[in-house]
Amino acid sequence: MSRRAKGSNNGVGRPVTSIEVARLAGVSQSTVSRVFSANNLVADETSEKVVQAARTLRYKPNAIARSLITRRTDMIGIVMAEITSPFYPYVLEKFTQRLHELGKSVLLFTTGPGSDVDETLQDVLKYQVDGLIVANATLSSTLVSECGQRGTPLMLFNRYVRGAHASAVCCDNVAGGQLVAEMLSQAGHRQLAYIAGKHNTSTNVDRERGFSERLQELEYGPFLREQGEYTYQSGYEAAKRLLQRDDPPDGIFCANDIMALGALDAARDLRVKVPDELSVIGFDDIPAASWTAYSLTTVRQPVNTMIGMSTQLLLERIASPEIEPVVMFVPGKLVQRGSARVRTE
């Protein structure tokens, strides 16, 4: 006759409870709960007794039951809109890794083309997550306010909403645009162009503003402009339109790297020499930017620093909801590679 492992299901087909673990370890049930909480403040010797008893009984903590007691689920929701750039899967991987290190579970929600981000976020809130991180999505002020009313801390990553009750950590996109303008100016370019990202995003608005304002300060004339969508194809097509003009640019700044890669391929197809006849600069420093085929000059976002700051601010607001939200800007770095000419003496 087969023998049941002691404590595996209490011999009657039901899971072991924390009461049984407490009895075997000689402690209270609340002590067992504290040992298996995200912030275990129980003495080492007592913790070891509880853990050993749990192993003996094959006890598995019930996260749902614990959340009813603590009113915390240890779950963080991450919301991303349609992912068209390799930058955001990279960001997602880094966020997930960091949150797991901190004992948090991650729920990912994405929206497809034409989907309403506000509707997606309404679904996220049904899961009673402890906090929310919104990456490449644009939220309405109404939904931001609703998160505040529900007491759900909201962290915006690399975007911000003016006047919203939400913390945000962003690359300093204005300063990044200024760096690009200065480099192109110092390299002696005369006809410049900007390929814009989605018009309603703070990233695009700020990158273009920094680029434009710095060019004005340097007494440049107007630059050419084409609308893109933060996608490879939109960058390719926008660059072809620019390069087939009677007065084509000799320098193009793209609002993100994936459009810049499209622009480089468009130049290659039109037999425009890079960087001798055309400089192309992107923004983000995705892994493909350093590939030999592209060697893209770009503005690097300090992703690890931004993620560390974002998680810290979010967890502080989860622990102390009365803390006022803050918006922080982190400087980027211009990374010079082979797609753009450099200053000549």
Residue length of the chain? 345
Taking the C-alpha atoms of residue 297 and residue 30, their distance in angstroms, rounded to an integer, is: 57
Half-sphere exposure of 4 (CA within 13 A, CB side): 11
| Distance, C-alpha 176 to centroid of its chain | 18
Segments in 74-140 forming alpha helices (H): 87-101, 117-125
Radius of gyration of the chain (CA): 26
Taking the C-alpha atoms of residue 211 and residue 102, their distance in angstroms, rounded to an integer, is: 38
Taking the C-alpha atoms of residue 227 and residue 250, their distance in angstroms, rounded to an integer, is: 18
Q: Does domain 18-70 have CATH number 1.10.10.10?
A: no
Q: What is the pLDDT of residue 70?
A: 46
Q: Choose among 321, 300, 279, 293: nearest CA to 130.
A: 321
Handedness of CA 284, 285, 287, 292 (dihedral sign): positive
Give the other-Cβ count within 10 Å of 216's Cβ.
12
Q: Choose among 240, 238, 219: nearest CA to 229.
A: 238
- What are the backbone angles phi and psi of residue 207, rounded to the nearest 5°? -65, -45
Residues forming CATH 1.10.260.40 domain(s) in the chain:
18-70
Taking the C-alpha atoms of residue 278 and residue 240, their distance in angstroms, rounded to an integer, is: 13
Amino acid at 311: T
Q: Does domain 173-301 have CATH number 3.40.50.2300?
A: yes
Regarding beta strands 279-284 and 327-330, do their DSSP bridges make them parallel or antiparallel, or are they unpaired?
unpaired
Amino acid at 126: K
- Low-confidence spans in the chain with pLDDT less than 50: 1-9, 11-12, 64, 67-70
Give the other-Cβ count within 10 Å of 345's Cβ.
2
Q: What is the pLDDT of residue 6?
A: 43
Helices (runs of H) and strands (runs of E) counted in the chain: 12, 12
Q: What is the pLDDT of residue 153?
A: 87
Q: Choose among 287, 92, 84: nearest CA to 197.
A: 84
Task: Give the 3-state secondary structure of residue 312.
Answer: helix
Calculate the alpha carbon distances from 38 to 68, 100, 316 in Å: 15, 11, 14
- 13-40 tens-digit pLDDT: 567 787 888 899 899 888 887 777 655 6
* E strand segments, the chain: 75-80, 105-110, 131-134, 154-157, 167-171, 192-196, 224-227, 251-254, 279-284, 297-300, 327-330, 333-335
CB 291 within 8 A of CB 274: no
Taking the C-alpha atoms of residue 108 and residue 225, their distance in angstroms, rounded to an integer, is: 35
Q: Does domain 75-171+303-331 have CATH number 3.40.50.2300?
A: yes
Q: What is the pLDDT of residue 254?
A: 98
Q: Choose among 78, 85, 82: nearest CA to 286.
A: 85
- 148-201 tens-digit pLDDT: 666 788 899 988 877 777 889 999 999 999 999 999 999 999 999 999 998 878
Amino acid at 208: E
Residues forming CATH 3.40.50.2300 domain(s) in the chain:
75-171+303-331, 173-301
CB 307 within 8 A of CB 335: no
Q: What is the pLDDT of residue 59?
A: 78
Q: Choose among 135, 76, 88, 102: nearest CA to 308.
A: 102
Taking the C-alpha atoms of residue 301 and residue 136, their distance in angstroms, rounded to an integer, is: 14
Taking the C-alpha atoms of residue 298 and residue 183, their distance in angstroms, rounded to an integer, is: 11
